Amino acid sequence: RLGSHCSYLKRIQVNGHQAHCQHNHTNHISADVVYNSTQIIETIVSISIPPNPRLKPSSPALAQIIQQPSTKHHPLTKKKKRNKTKTHVVFPKPIIALCLVWSPFLFHLQQFPANLDFTFTMEMDSLPNGNSTIPTTTTSITTPSTALSSKLTQLTESLKLEHQFLRVPFELYKKTIRTNHRAVEKEVSSVISVVNDAADSDISNDDAVQHLTSLVSRLQGLKRKLEEGNRTENLQAQRCRARIDHLESADAENLSEWNNTRMKRILVDYMLRMSYYDTGLKLAESSDMLDLVDIDVFLESKRVIDALQKREVAPALAWCADNKSRLKKSKSKFEFQLRLQEYVELVRAEDHLRAITYARKYLAPWAATHMKEMQRVFAIVAFKSNPDCAVYKVFFEPKQWDFLVEQFKQEFCRLYGMTLEPLLNIFLQAGLSALKTPLCYKDDCTKEDPLSQESFRKLALPLPFSKQHHSKLVCFITKELMDTENPPQVLPNGYVYSTKALEEMAKRNDGKITCPRTGLVCNYSEVVKAYIS
């Protein structure tokens, strides 16, 4: 019996982790449990005594309980003496509802298997009526298997890399809403302005009817735009929902299948970034994951990139106009670089008058922030015919267009919250950072080492070497690790191989050992065991 006519907060200890418990007059305990592991787990548990445990809504918000210690609201806070007792409650194989909170993703209620036993050790103060005669018992706790915990930890770490997966459709959704809002605002303002002008002027009935007919036609066109915009918004919302559902479907049981889908997503992302649009589209269609990849977003960038490669800046300038506020907020120089290049092309064509007019109209507004660049580029009119002046010659080199393409890709990725590097490179670098050693860059690097390939070496070049505090010996023959269970053996010529490899070789050759690298033949009795310190 926990007492009656009371409601107060208690501290409890759950498997060594602090939690808070609320007692009330219904003799139920509603506990919010915090596990300080890589993931935050809120376990909503309801204990009914004497009936069997059952699920019950959670107690007050977990964040508020953590921020405000339970002793602050305890009715016995002012009392000097407190008698503490310990109570151990055993859960006989219930189904525990878990609310997994993954940053930055929110998961709904999941369920652990029903064959798990949980024991919660609660340390509570004496009850308000002073009765603290609850006996103390000792119970054991059965936790999930190590394999399950390892998979959950692995899953948590994997989800931390899925920021781009949700950010891109959300940014596209916001962009669609802003575009529709601007269109409506512009059209409605125009209609209201026309109505006000017509109301203030003295016009005939025929003219008034003509004006009204024109306004009705414009409003009908606005209605069609709104309907089309609404369909686009619903499509973007559906895509966001599909991606959230995909992340929620990840658990320890189907981790292999989920990782396979993620690998395909990473490959599609790489293909789209490398301009293999048709191949990426076919892979996405064959895997039935069109809602999980950003093909339409990359197709938008493809139009601008193709135009820049053809030395056309109009599509890129239109893209800058559509995203002017966000580019200005991020202090982007991309539009200024486009204007400079267009000015350079006018000078290249020796149309100096148009170049000067263009500079006054489009480059002068940037003078406050880019004066040095403008002074240099304005001088190319005088130095264009001098091929020896390298400072100004660089403006006319073809690589300037390649620079604009790369600049656009970076601005495009920042705008949608994408990583500047392909996800495939990021994942590969994460693994290569654990494999990179000085030996990998030597000529005698084994072929089994991924860093023996030049492409992987370039990818791992900016990475630090792996921190190996203890050397690990790998057998040249079996490629297995040499340790206390499979100790190394030293041949008379100084080469070291594993015991397992030498024993198998000796059995096949009547006790004879042949060094695979030097060809030395010796008896197995001549090898000496080496010890790893």
Could you read off the pLDDT of 443-492 as tens digits, one per residue? 878 887 888 888 999 999 989 888 877 778 889 899 899 988 899 999 99
DSSP line for 77-108: TT-S---EEEEEEEE-S---EEEEEETTEEEE
The CA distances from residue 389 to 181, 337, 382, in Å, are 51, 21, 11
Give the side-chain half-sphere CA count within 13 A for 296: 11
List the one residue out of 40, 17, 14 whose CA is nearest residue 29: 14
In sequence order, what are the beta bridge partners of 496?
A: 490
Residue 138: predicted pLDDT: 40
Q: Where are the alpha helices (DSSP H) in 330-398?
A: 334-348, 352-358, 371-378, 380-383, 390-393
3-state secondary structure of 315: helix
3-state secondary structure of 524: helix
pTM tops 0.95, yes or no: no
Question: Do 423 and 168 meet the contact criterion of CB atoms below 8 Å apart?
Answer: no
Question: Do 33 and 46 meet the contact criterion of CB atoms below 8 Å apart?
Answer: no
In sequence order, what are the beta bridge partners of 474?
A: 481
Residue 387: predicted pLDDT: 59
Largest CA distance in the chain: 119
- Rounded to whole angstroms, the Cα distance separating 406 from 275 reads 13
Question: Do 65 and 11 meet the contact criterion of CB atoms below 8 Å apart?
Answer: no
Six-digit token string for 403: 């620079």
Q: b/e for 481-492, b at 16 or more Cβ within 10 A? A: ebeeebebbebe
Element (H, E) at 65: helix 62-67
Q: Is 494 left (phi over 0), alpha (psi -120 to 50) or beta?
A: left
CA quadruple 416, 417, 423, 429: dihedral, nearest 10: 150
User: Per this entry, what is the length of the chain?
Assistant: 533
Residue 30: partners with Cβ closer than 8 Å, 6 or more residues away:
21, 22, 24, 44, 45, 46, 56, 57, 58, 59
DSSP state of 52: P
Residue 466: partners with Cβ closer than 8 Å, 6 or more residues away:
433, 434, 435, 436, 437
Six-digit token string for 78: 């002012």
pLDDT tens, residue by residue, 353-371: 898 899 999 998 888 888 8
Return the ∠ at Cα 104 (arms to 70 and 102), rounded to 5°.
60
Residue 145: predicted pLDDT: 57
Give the side-chain half-sphere CA count within 13 A for 64: 6
Question: Do 491 and 515 meet the contact criterion of CB atoms below 8 Å apart?
Answer: yes
DSSP line for 191-233: HHHHHHHHHHS---HHHHHHHHHHHHHHHHHHHHHHHHHHHHH
Question: Do 130 and 16 meet the contact criterion of CB atoms below 8 Å apart?
Answer: no
Residue 12: predicted pLDDT: 37
3-state secondary structure of 389: coil
Residue 147: predicted pLDDT: 60
Q: Is 185 left (phi over 0), alpha (psi -120 to 50) or beta?
A: alpha
The CA distances from residue 352 to 207, 346, 375, 394, in Å, are 49, 7, 16, 19
Residue 149: predicted pLDDT: 66
- Rounded to whole angstroms, the Cα distance separating 121 from 110 reads 23
- Rounded to whole angstroms, the Cα distance separating 525 from 482 reads 19
DSSP state of 144: P
Six-digit token string for 229: 């915009």
CA quadruple 320, 325, 330, 333: dihedral, nearest 10: 40
Domain 473-529: which topology? Herpes Virus-1 (3.30.40)
- Rounded to whole angstroms, the Cα distance separating 458 from 425 reads 11
Question: With a cut of 70, which residues of the chain have pLDDT below it?
Answer: 1-160, 384-388
DSSP state of 511: T
